[in-house]
Structure 1
Amino acid sequence: MQIRWRLVSFSVFTMLVFAGLVKLGMWQTERGTHKQQLVEQLAQQRLATPADLSHILATPHDQLHGLPVQLKVAIDPSWRVLLDNKVHNGKVGYQVLVPVIHHQLRFLVNLGWLAAPLSRQQWPQMPEIPEEVILRGHIKLAGEQPPLLDQRYLFEQRGAVIRSQTAQPELIAKQLDIPLQPWLVLLDESEQWGLPRQWQWFNMGPEKHYGYALQWYSMAAAVLILMMVFLLRHYRNNSEKES
């Protein structure tokens, strides 16, 4: 009776592990499919005509990602945001975000990369930025905010400069106490003004998600096979004993 109970417990535990691995595989598959859709959307957006205000307002939120824009904007001189821990050509620094205004829209523009001083206690010198420009770039929807162990370090402020651990417009808007659209614009790489920039739209492409999914499914299959081999041997040994 005790042996049978252990066998049932082992089988239940193994099936739970199997189900968990399959669920992880399905999650990575879904993420890969979503990333693939975004890649295809970006490819289509690159061929689109730059959007004006009416086009932006008429576009559903989930279709804004990658949308090219060309807008005359006034750059808000009140704030500069340093997006922390950004790498360019192997060097660590910041990306500089500035609030801009176009009619009734106020949103953030990412100007590119700025080198960080050697000491964390030193903040970089802010570059000179024109007060009014024709902005050419692409809309980017903010991804999920990774969790921070200590929310006190989400923002640091020195005068009109904010050092931020997040690119979430909603959180930055709350910190700056100004209304911002729930997206930002990446300055076009061909524009002569701004800072050095080479945009990376995804931290991980769809093929990596599919690769991780295959690993999880393979582990699930291995667990199931091992359980079946164990049960088969168990019943075969019992049959030999009984005979």
Structure 2
Amino acid sequence: MVSVCFRLAFWQWQRAQEKQGLIEQIDASSGEYWWRKVSKPEQLQGATAQIRGRIDTSQFWFLDNQIVNGQVGYDLVVLFLPQDYTEYFVLNLGFIAGERDRKQLPDFDLPTNEVMIEVEFKIGDWAGFTLATSPNQSAHHSNVLQYLDHTFFVQNTGQQLSPLLMIAKNAVFDDVEPHYQAVVMSPDKHRAYALQWLLIGISAGVIAFFAYRPKKLGSSHYE
């Protein structure tokens, strides 16, 4: 128990240092390309940036079962190529309302010109909780997905894709509504958790010490 608590405290302290390093790196950088200078992609988790580039209008996907403000629909997902970049990113543009008939998909026009998008980065497990066994299980459309998966996009697009998922923070056209809210802890919160686990570990050690300490046998006198 003590060992586990100390390891958790150390892990939270490391996360605090990583987050603090990223914040300092962002503050020290200038221009819209600061995110390209980050040494480890995983450090961009939860970070935001203004990025200029083009949307690949030849293919797009709908992430199924989305509800925003009581309206049922999809998240519109595209490939995005930042300016002066050779690697595509999967980009979630946000919510788009669905039609009453599930066989009919929403109609829209993607921008063909270069756009500036504020994005938030996500790395790791793109899918979240799901009971689906594969992304494209729709009975009607091959581009309606149950969850997002990096391997799926690589295999189905033939493009070199970043492991980072981009999530739009501003709408690129009128019919789409960004709605993703990430839960990202600050360095101070990580430090607070590290201190909490450290104190729990120390408390567990103190309790164990007194519980297992040999007890002195007192002498008995009988008359």
Shorter-normalised TM range: 0.5 to 0.7
Q: Which residue of 2 aligns with 1:20?
A: 4
Q: 1:29 aligns with which of 4, 7, 13?
A: 13
Indicate the structure with greater helix content.
Answer: 1
CA pair 112-42 structure 1, distance change in 2 beyond 3 A: farther
Q: Deviations over 1:170-215 (max 9, x none)?
A: 44222x2421421344435265546212553x42313443343333
* Seq. identity, %: 16
Aligned length: 212
- Structure 1: 5+ residue stretches without partners: 1-16
Q: Which residue of 2 aligns with 1:12?
A: none
How far apart, in 2, do the equivalents of 1:24 and 1:184 lie? 27
Is the Cα–Cα contact under 8 Å of residues 169 and 180 in structure 1 kept in the other structure? Answer: no
- Structure 2: 5+ residue stretches without partners: none
Q: Which residue of 2 aligns with 1:220?
A: 201
Q: 2:113 aligns with which of 128, 133, 138?
A: 133
1:203 matches 2:187: no
> TM-score normalised to the size of structure 2?
0.68
- State the secondary structure of the residue aligned to 1:136: strand
Instruction: Output the aligned Cα RMSD.
Output: 4.1
Q: Deviations over 1:152-179 (max 9, x none)?
A: 244434434231423x5344222x2421
Q: 1:109 aligns with which of 82, 91, 94?
A: 91
Q: Which residue of 2 aligns with 1:179?
A: 159
CA pair 57-123 structure 1, distance change in 2 beyond 3 A: farther
Q: Which residue of 2 aligns with 1:69?
A: 51
How far apart, in 1, do the equivalents of 2:171 and 2:119 lie? 15
- State the secondary structure of the residue aligned to 1:77: strand
How far apart, in 2, do the equivalents of 1:87 and 1:31 lie? 33
One-letter code of the match for 1:49? G
Q: Which residue of 1 aligns with 2:211?
A: 230
Q: Which residue of 1 aligns with 2:133?
A: 152
